[in-house]
Amino acid sequence: MNINNAEFIKSAANPKDFITAVMPTIVFAGKSNVGKSSVINRLLNRKNFARVGQSPGKTVHVNYFLIDKKAYFVDLPGYGYAKVSKTERDRWGRLMEQFFARDDLITLGVMIVDSRHKPTADDVTMANWFKATQCPLVIVANKVDKLKKSEIEPNLALIRETLELPESIKILPFSAEKGTGKDELMGEILSYVKKP
Ligand code: GDP
């Protein structure tokens, strides 16, 4: 199944602008440069909708997209970019604390990690925030096109171990570049979106 229509709704820099999940609300998170925009664009079959290659860490906003008028995709600001100022980092931390303090903003969390590397301390923090909400969560292990076949399983195991994920949380090998895993991720997302 494909998405036909995606519409930018707003950028929230302030908790009062968060949108309550009255519609299925799919929340995407990941460190800067992990390919979060590319994953969203791949799902939407668009080249440059969620912007790719933005100056990392510059966008401390929660971006809302309305998908086929029946779900929201929520793009959380990327994290972990070394060159970002302390002010920006603090702004990020505050906004994320305010976001995850609410229990009515997320239907499904989609956390994107780099399939090539052990998740960072920031990734662990983000995974813990998601776990604390008790909302369903799926992990996307992106850039799998850069791995040898034999490296995939051990890397997924390292991700599971580092993020302390129970077996009930799926890790999907993914390549935004090649489209690997798109149908599986779309299937997960659609299982939370009501059919017309
Ligand atoms: P964001 O900062 O997380 O939104 O990351 P972007 O979507 O801007 O991607 C960061 C860089 O990684 C860009 O140069 C992308 O072309 C590249 N990239 C994203 N996904 C993949 C992937 O699956 N495979 C490869 N090889 N590169 C990717």
State the average pLDDT over residues 60-69.
Answer: 92
| Banded model confidence at residue 53, pLDDT cuts 50, 70, 90 | low
Q: Which domain holds residue 125?
A: 6-193
Residue owning the nearest CA to atom 5 of ligand 1: 35
User: Is 177 close to ligand 1, i.e. is its CB under 6 Å away?
Assistant: yes
- For residue 39, pLDDT beyond 80: yes
* DSSP summary character for residue 119: P
Question: Three-state SS across 43-67?
Answer: HHCCCCCCCCCCCCCCCCCEEEEEE
CATH for 40: 3.40.50.300
| pLDDT reported for residue 58 | 58
Least confident of 7-11, 32-36, 44-48, 167-171: 44-48
User: What is the pTM for the complete model shown?
Assistant: 0.95
State the average pLDDT over residues 39-57.
Answer: 77
**Token pair recorded at residue 170:** 């799926």
- How far, in Å, CA of 72 to CA of 23, rounded? 7
Q: What angle do CA 35, 38, 39 make, to 5 degrees?
A: 85
| pLDDT reported for residue 59 | 63
* 106 domain-assigned: yes
**Location of structure tokens 């602008």:** 17
- For residue 105, pLDDT beyond 60: yes
- For residue 57, pLDDT beyond 60: no
User: Is 107 close to ligand 1, i.e. is its CB under 6 Å away?
Assistant: no
Residue owning the nearest CA to atom 13 of ligand 1: 53
Q: What atom in ligand 1 is closest to the CA of residue 38?
A: 7
**How many independent structural domains does the chain possess?**
1
* 1 domain-assigned: no
* 174 domain-assigned: yes
* 163 domain-assigned: yes
- For residue 196, pLDDT beyond 70: no
Task: Give pLDDT tens digits for 115-145.
Answer: 999 999 999 999 999 999 999 999 999 999 9
